[in-house]
Structure 1
Amino acid sequence: MAVTFLGVRHHSPACARLVADTIRSLRPAYVLVEGPADMNHRMDELLLGHELPIAVYTGYRDPQRRHGSWTPLCDYSPEWTALAAGRDAGAELRFIDLPAWHPALAEVRNRYADAEARYGEVTGRLCRAFAVDNVDALWDHLFEIQPADGLAERLAAYFDLVRGDTPAGSDDMAREAYMARWIRAAAADAGGRPVVVVTGGFHRPALIRLAERGDRNWPEVPRPPADAVVGSYLVPYSFRRLDAFDGYQAGMPSPGYYQHLWESGPAEAARRLTEAVTARLRARRQPVSTADLIAARITADGIAAMRGHPRPARVDVLDGLAGALVNEAIETPLPWATRGPLRAGAHPVIVEMIAALSGDRVGRLHPSTPLPPLAHAVLAVLGDPGEERLDLGEDAGRERSRFLHRLRVLRIPGVARTSGPRLGGGTEPVERWTLTESGDRLPALIEAGGYGVDPQEAAAAVLAERIRGADLDELADVLFDTALCGIGELTGQVLDDLARAVGAAAELGSLGRTLTVALAMWRHDELFGTSGATTLATVVEAATHRALWLAEGVRGGPAPADLQRVDAMTAVRDALRHAGPSLGLDTHAALGVADRLAACQEAPPDLRGASMGLAWSLRGTAAADPARALRGAFVPASAGDWLAGLFALAREEVLHTPGMLESLDELVGEMTDHDFLVALPALRQAFGFFPPRERHLIATRLVERRAGGGSGWDLMRLDAAPELVAAGRALDERVEAALRREGLIAS
């Protein structure tokens, strides 16, 4: 067979040049490329004239499995140059690998992620032999910055060595057997003319062996199961998504650098990298002098010579820049000495260097590229950027709200709700949304197209996926989202699951959260479109009973207040108050539980306070002298926790009961400085349950008590101009946003 096998590393400029040169030289009858065979009939679409990087996104969904994967391509991907050069040479182009949805690729999120983990032992020995830190530096050392002479032979020797006698897994064996069938059929059909095969180097040795014997008929493209939904579309991609420093385990990290290497060679790539780092640092007002750049260049050249490089490689340039620009000690390894996402807390100069390496290129699809129905459905009605106010009491407002919530569930960028009904919060009849432009919107819509043809179908599929295996907290979230999205058929399913989960619930906080959601939807059924959902009433009733039963069994000494537990007691109070008569809830039994818990010294302070508040708010009067109860519970280490529970459930009762604030003021005044500092964090948390208007009322009464008159604002104002405070807060927000953006603190 006149077959030339080219084993490559994905996204390698050296391999891309070799592939293009080989095809131009041989002018083969067929160019066979590792890629999804079900895209062969859409080769013209792939070669429309897009601005790379782009990717083929494949979404797969059946009753048992959901899978999404990408086949990314950039200018210097060997697979791309194979297609482009093959088309120019008049060759027949074929992808020869199994479709991305196939079970053999079920664990593959990215088809062109390297197989280095499978031969890590060999590459580890090579790294030690050549005194380099990792396989990326090894690859540059052996191939990217070396002369092109003999590259094909060196690549073949490298991949023969790293694969060795390592047995492939069953998935790789299935893929290689399938690719070999395409190779045999193409060789037979070529009639003696050349055939060029471009695959990952890991597969090359096996394909050479498998292509020697077997049938020579064209293989069929596998069809998905009848109950599966499969879609493949081109999506714009970006260098950020290609970068190993952002978590993509591709063949090459630092795509911006390798784009320069592809376009201009090692010397120019080194110069452009230095310029990009300098520009980024100066844009952030980091001083970079000409002397620093000279020192970085001299250091990089010296390191390259020491390492035996004819020209500075990527790590040589980076080491030179780090040596010249970073003056402080660095406690962690430099990121290019390892692999994976950039660690939080990295030096700011290092962060800018990694960003310069990555580049900011974003692909663009040709205008004639087909889009999935979902993208058309959304873009036709989404509207222009701006603010939207929706009245949920009107049909038009509810429909628009449901449309935007479906996009939120699908995680479409540039669609953000700023106010409205929230889980565990109020049920405002008005929503406000902000729509902004986003370069990531089209890719997200294309990828979400695998879930359905319109926003309702796609959002329903996402929510159905979230239901499977969800715990009580997650079911509460899904219930709320199904209601906001207006997907009634799922609401009933979630409610049935919730009803079963409530009966087995063992955690008071999660149960309270579920009760909060179910009660809000029961009370405002017209707003949420849940009228007639009888299971809602069952969930409210069962959750109320179960929460009281769980609460009575909680024991524990002083500890920080558990606000989820307090919220659960608040949910019980609201259920008894708003649904008790309609649903026949036993308020008398609930009061008995509350009284017992309030007097139980083995119960946590926050739960005792909340139980007293529950009984007080339901009766309208305290069962015992509240001031006396306050004195009995006021222990510096736990007073704030007890008050947090009390204030959460009986804030207004406390505020308007004579003597309560005065008693509390006396107790605080009697505390030693040490006790006050111990109690202060919890006290601040407790008083946070009062809204600003009520805090002002408390401050006014304290001023009257202490000073005989005056304004409560005196206790609530800072001795600083409002504009200074506002500027300080704005600065804090900008600093935090910058730190998160640069990966210096966790998001």
Structure 2
Amino acid sequence: MPAHLIGVRHHSPACARLVGRTIESLRPAYVLVEGPADINDRLDELLLGHELPIAVFSHYRDEDRSHLSWAPFCEYSPEWVAITAGRSCGAEVRLIDLPAWHPALAGRRNRYADAEQRYADAAERLCRAFAVDNVDALWDRLVEVEPDDGLEERLATYFDLVRGDSAAGEEDTAREEYMAGWVRAAVADAGDRPVVVVTGGFHRPAILALTERPAVGDSPEPSWPEVPRPLEGSVAGSYLVPYSFRRLDAFSGYRSGMPSPEYYQRLWAQGAKAAADGLVEAVATRLRGRGQSVSTADLIAARTLSEGLARLRGHPHPARTDILDGLVSALVSDDLDQPLPWTRRASLAPGAHPVVVEMVAALSGDRVGRLHPGTPAPPLVHDVDAELLRLGLDREGEVDLDLTLAGDLDRSHALHRLVALGVPGFERRSGPSSGADPVLDEQWVLTAHDARVAALIEAGAYGGTLRDAAAAVLAERIAEAGTEPGRLAGVLFAAALCGITDLPERIAELIAAGIAGAREPGPLGEALAMVLGLWRHDRVLGTANSPMYATVIDGAVTRLLWLAEGIHGGPAPADRARLHALTATRDALLHAPEVLTTGRDVALDVMARIGADRTAPPDLRGAAFGFGWSLGASGDPVRALRGVAGADTLGDWLSGLFALARDEVLAGTSGVLEVLDDLITSMPEFLPGLPALRQAFGYFPPRERQLIAQRLLERRDLTGSARALLRTTADPLLIAEAQLLEEKVSRLLTREGLRP
């Protein structure tokens, strides 16, 4: 007897009803379901008595790739109904798809992928033919609100059209051939008894063709396919995790199956009319709970409009989009600035109308699954429970930590590791924010969270202990940072907060390669400054003299010197980011020479070349001179200052000088301030250079600006208050308005391409 193949759409109540009726009617020997075959020996675990939704979470990691994926089930998932109904009628139930970690599924975070996402042409033609906005509305029109009579034939026709004559990709071909092998073996073993197969509708035509292909010659009797095993040396596994309707919802970014899961849950449990009425009330309740006025007349109008739209669109009962459109018409009187999300299957964009936000939330629902207490969990879950208990963090409320105390530092490390793993319910309110931050205490707030168990189970893919898992995540993020030094710095600081500074040697190689590929000095300078601070000072966090951080310092200094010498261009506003980068480079030469492969003499030679290069920007030339001056190189600052040409370059050159050699400028013997006073006094046109000069002197804090003012008074044999020279009699509001105007003009010039 040939197999009875049912093509379904994942998480479709109508398909789930069809699957349940078919199994109950045929009483098959086998029920074969699209799902990871590697958990066939754990079906009893899947059916322990969980509160749905739940998901099979799979993970895989080897030297070349890592993979995470989820196969979610809710009460109205056809696959779930197939498993439970098959067990109830005494059938042998088998999951028949390749394991989720298999290379054929390596590009997917969710093993279910609707055909409409990959072969959209046929779906678009059908949408035009039925005058609907998108494939979800089309599906409701053809399947969910229509009578169940003839449903299987409609589904077969629909999926045949979607599949068309186009060849599937290699990954789908591999999966379909594997599933067909299970079908052939089940049919051979079942004899005269039926076999029911439930797969995604896109795969049905191919599996049907593969299983109906006649045997050739003396073909051997079909045998059960082997379940692939992970490669030797890899780490792979599957666990059940609690899931939620919010994660299942397309409006929250889930791209497989159905949107608005709360609506389809009600449709499954109560029918179309009760689902429509109940959701109108649910939206009204949410809006009233947030202080929005929703009257009984509004509810009557929403129901009337929904029913009218259903009749106009030829629906026997209001469909999901009828309800949503009716609610919008009744409750929203403002102009909408963006398309409604259900017209294009999109996530809610920032600035969405509050009523629309609450409507989407009501139809999404807040249901969260719960695993049976006897469900196996990865070692990490037990390790975290034990750690939180040991550290006194197994509670809710505020936690204050003093990082100079060993016990509190251990607590801080544990909390930061949980944050690195993305486990919810642990929020740091305050604490150190960089390697040079003198803050030595932290404030945390611990709260219970419905998603914590799921997050811990999923994080178990990275390791069996909290420390190992956090280290693996950090290593992965370092690899992902690539040539983005800003991201790399953030990960390295997170590693310091986690108390993890001994990452594998290959990670040091990735860091070095990423730094060597950095293209902008500003972000790389930020990373260098942060890491240098951790390497020099942080004995509290345990990063002082860390070899891993030394690798970053060495690579960043070499790369920054190379980048600085390659910068060319005429007069332009001083670039504070690259000046900060040169300052960090100078500090590394001063305070960490023992870890550098680029010596002081090489760096000074680079700066000498930059300072003499008239094609280099003025701020960079000034910084190059200040770099050498601050490191004790020979050079006459007065002569260098006199060699700067014109008011259009003086201020920018000084920005570079002051950024690198502020202390040297203030030294009484340098003569720089006196020469600068003469230059500015003798300028024929002072105003054009004023903004750049003001920016340059911004490198001096108020106390040092007051010292400069005092020296200028003394040079002129004047008495008076230097502090008074730093104060203005102008209206502060007028100054603020002028600054805003300057910023607006600057943005406008940049936008229109009018900056030199």
Amino acid at match of 1:246: S
SS at match of 1:224: coil
Query: Closer, same or farther in 2 for the Cα pair 1:715/1:98, shift >3 Å?
Result: farther
Is 1:361 matched with 2:367?
yes
Query: Closer, same or farther in 2 for the Cα pair 1:578/1:108, shift >3 Å?
Result: closer
- Kindly report which structure 2 residues correspond to 1:220-619, keeping only aligned pairs within 5 A, or say none: 220-330=226-336, 332-382=338-388, 383=393, 384-393=395-404, 395-419=406-430, 422-423=433-434, 425-426=436-437, 430-468=441-479, 470-471=482-483, 473=485, 475-487=488-500, 489-490=502-503, 492-499=505-512, 507-524=520-537, 526-527=539-540, 529=542, 540=553, 543-544=556-557, 546-559=559-572, 561-580=574-593, 602-604=615-617, 606-608=619-621, 610-611=623-624, 614=627
Query: Closer, same or farther in 2 for the Cα pair 1:463/1:638, shift >3 Å?
Result: farther
| Residue 15 of structure 1: aligned partner | 15
Query: Closer, same or farther in 2 for the Cα pair 1:159/1:559, shift >3 Å?
Result: same
| Residue 117 of structure 2: aligned partner | 117
C-alpha contact (below 8 Å) 1:248/1:340 kept by paired residues: no
Query: Closer, same or farther in 2 for the Cα pair 1:124/1:272, shift >3 Å?
Result: same
SS at match of 2:462: coil
Amino acid at match of 1:554: I
Offset at residue 274 of structure 1 (A)? 2.0
C-alpha contact (below 8 Å) 2:310/2:322 kept by paired residues: yes
CA distance in 2, matches of 1:263, 1:685: 71
SS at match of 2:22: helix
Amino acid at match of 2:238: S
Offset at residue 419 of structure 1 (A)? 5.0
SS at match of 1:60: strand
CA distance in 2, matches of 1:359, 1:394: 45
Farther-moved stretch of structure 1 (386-395 vs 559-568)? 386-395
CA distance in 2, matches of 1:531, 1:696: 36
SS at match of 1:571: helix
Offset at residue 62 of structure 1 (A)? 1.1
CA distance in 1, matches of 2:336, 2:321: 17
Offset at residue 66 of structure 1 (A)? 0.5
| Residue 133 of structure 2: aligned partner | 133
Amino acid at match of 2:232: A
| Residue 142 of structure 1: aligned partner | 142
SS at match of 1:211: helix
Farther-moved stretch of structure 1 (217-226 vs 393-402)? 393-402
Amino acid at match of 2:368: V
Amino acid at match of 1:266: A
CA distance in 1, matches of 2:379, 2:337: 51
Offset at residue 307 of structure 1 (A)? 1.1
Which structure 1 residue ranges, 5 or more long, are not aligned? 720-747
Describe the superposition over 1:665-697 as per-residue Cα deviations: whole angstroms up to 9, x where unpaired. x989x9999979x949x968985x778998999
Amino acid at match of 1:183: V
Superposition RMSD on alpha carbons, in Å? 4.4
Describe the superposition over 1:382-426 as per-residue Cα deviations: whole angstroms up to 9, x where unpaired. 323344455555554554444334333322223344555555643
Offset at residue 217 of structure 1 (A)? 2.4
Offset at residue 380 of structure 1 (A)? 2.0
Amino acid at match of 2:449: S
| Residue 57 of structure 1: aligned partner | 57
Query: Closer, same or farther in 2 for the Cα pair 1:52/1:536, shift >3 Å?
Result: closer
Query: Closer, same or farther in 2 for the Cα pair 1:538/1:119, shift >3 Å?
Result: closer
Offset at residue 86 of structure 1 (A)? 2.4
Farther-moved stretch of structure 1 (41-50 vs 521-530)? 521-530
| Residue 206 of structure 2: aligned partner | 206
**TM-score, normalised by the number of residues in structure 2:** 0.81
Amino acid at match of 2:44: D
Describe the superposition over 1:142-186 as per-residue Cα deviations: whole angstroms up to 9, x where unpaired. 111111222222222322333233322232222222222322333
Amino acid at match of 2:7: G
- Kindly report which structure 2 residues correspond to 1:682-701, keeping only aligned pairs within 5 A, or say none: 687=698
Amino acid at match of 1:572: T
Is 1:87 matched with 2:93?
no
CA distance in 2, matches of 1:553, 1:374: 49
Farther-moved stretch of structure 1 (376-385 vs 444-453)? 376-385
C-alpha contact (below 8 Å) 2:428/2:445 kept by paired residues: yes
- Kindly report which structure 2 residues correspond to 1:119-198, keeping only aligned pairs within 5 A, or say none: 119-198=119-198
| Residue 725 of structure 1: aligned partner | none
Describe the superposition over 1:239-296 as per-residue Cα deviations: whole angstroms up to 9, x where unpaired. 1111111221122111121112112222222222222332333333344344433333
| Residue 738 of structure 2: aligned partner | none
Is 1:74 matched with 2:74?
yes
Offset at residue 126 of structure 1 (A)? 1.4
Farther-moved stretch of structure 1 (283-292 vs 596-605)? 596-605
Q: Percent identity?
A: 57
Offset at residue 231 of structure 1 (A)? 1.1
Describe the superposition over 1:321-377 as per-residue Cα deviations: whole angstroms up to 9, x where unpaired. 222333344454322111232233433332332222212222111222111111111
| Residue 730 of structure 1: aligned partner | none
Offset at residue 378 of structure 1 (A)? 1.3
C-alpha contact (below 8 Å) 1:492/1:533 kept by paired residues: no
**TM-score, normalised by the number of residues in structure 1:** 0.82
SS at match of 1:58: strand
CA distance in 1, matches of 2:327, 2:721: 64
Is 1:216 matched with 2:228?
no
Query: Closer, same or farther in 2 for the Cα pair 1:119/1:381, shift >3 Å?
Result: same
Q: How many residues of Structure 1 are paired with residues of Structure 2 in the alignment?
A: 712
| Residue 31 of structure 1: aligned partner | 31
Offset at residue 36 of structure 1 (A)? 0.9
CA distance in 1, matches of 2:711, 2:272: 75
C-alpha contact (below 8 Å) 2:401/2:443 kept by paired residues: yes
| Residue 97 of structure 2: aligned partner | 97
Query: Closer, same or farther in 2 for the Cα pair 1:713/1:414, shift >3 Å?
Result: farther
CA distance in 2, matches of 1:277, 1:114: 29
SS at match of 2:197: strand
Query: Closer, same or farther in 2 for the Cα pair 1:329/1:654, shift >3 Å?
Result: farther
CA distance in 2, matches of 1:347, 1:686: 47
Amino acid at match of 2:483: D
SS at match of 1:449: helix
C-alpha contact (below 8 Å) 1:233/1:372 kept by paired residues: yes
SS at match of 2:119: helix
CA distance in 2, matches of 1:23, 1:194: 10
Query: Closer, same or farther in 2 for the Cα pair 1:276/1:578, shift >3 Å?
Result: same
